[in-house]
Structure 1
């Protein structure tokens, strides 16, 4: 299994708006809307940062209940295997591909689909993976049961799940692989 991280080449990998203050993150979001109007980030509303922080609080709380280890307050976001849809999000898109074996999987939580719709009260379809955070061992069982969403729903026609989101709660091994100083 590989984890992928998609990003815009101009910004570089593993830049997190939620790792910044609310004021800084909103300024950067507004700047991206002006400078990168065709990117997915430019389509986010002004409440995005608040919603994302709320979602991260849920992820932290639920992962802690399962004994997850979190070195960071705000995770690095990755996805399980290649997502054709995510590869189109950035005007100058690129990605990093890291084998799962490079990570301490006790420091990674997963949602079957993006975490925002996973925990959204607007998505009420009764699927067992709604409102759920998974450990590595648990997500393997869910993948066995349902497969990878990008294989059966890359276009989003069957619901909001288009990939499996991985929340990496540590800078290791990311900081060594990318040779960048990550602050969080």
Structure 2
């Protein structure tokens, strides 16, 4: 199994708005809207930073309940296997692909789909994987049952889950790959 991280080549990998103070993160997002209007990030709403911080608070709380190890306040974001949809998010898209074996699994959590809709109070479709965070062993069972979302819902026709989001709560492995990339 590989974990993928998609990013804009002109910005670089593993650059996270959540690592910044809220006002600074909002300013960066406004700059993206002006300078990269065709990117997915430019489409984010005005309250995105606050919603992201709230979602990360939920992720931290849920991961702590499962005994996860968090060496960061906010996670690095990756996905399980290639996501064709995410590969279109950036004007100068590139990616980093890392074998999951290189990570300490106690520092990784997962949501089936993006964490924002997974924990959204407005999505109440009764799917069993909503409002749930998973450990590695748990997500393997969910994948066995439902498959990878990008295989059956890459276009979003069947709901918001288009990939399995991976939350990396450590810089250890990330730092080894921060300056490596493959072109799509």
Provide TM-score, normalisation by structure 2: 0.96
Mapping for residues 30-109 of structure 1, pairs under 5 Å: 30-109=30-109
CA distance in 2, matches of 1:151, 1:165: 14
8 Å CA contact retained: 2:84, 2:150: yes
Q: Distance in 1 between matches of 2:161 and 2:27?
A: 29
Partner residue in 1 for 2:163? 163
Count of matched residue positions in the alignment of Structure 1 and Structure 2: 180
Structure 1 position 45, deviation (Å): 1.0
Q: Which residue number corresponds to residue 20 of structure 1?
A: 20
CA distance in 2: counterparts of 1:121 and 1:54, whole angstroms: 12
CA drift of 1:177 comes to: 2.0
Residue 179 to residue 9, structure 1, CA distance change in 2 (3 Å): closer
Name the structure 2 match of 1:120.
Answer: 120
Conservation of the 8 A alpha-carbon contact between 2:56 and 2:74: yes
Q: Deviations over 1:6-29 (max 9, x none)?
A: 000010000000110011101100
Confirm or deny: 8 A CA contact 2:112 2:129 kept in the other structure: yes
Q: State the secondary structure of the residue aligned to 1:162.
A: coil
Q: Distance in 2 between matches of 1:76 and 1:177?
A: 12
Unaligned runs of 5+ in 1: none
The residue matched to 2:31 in structure 1 has which SS? helix
Q: Report the alpha carbon displacement of residue 178 of structure 1 after superposing the two structures with TM.
A: 2.0
- Could you state the TM-score of these two structures normalised by the residue count of structure 1? 0.96
What secondary structure is seen at the aligned counterpart in 2 of 1:173? helix
Task: Give me the CA root mean square deviation.
Answer: 0.9
Distance between the aligned counterparts of 2:179 and 2:77, measured in 1?
17
What are structure 2's unaligned runs of at least 5 residues? none
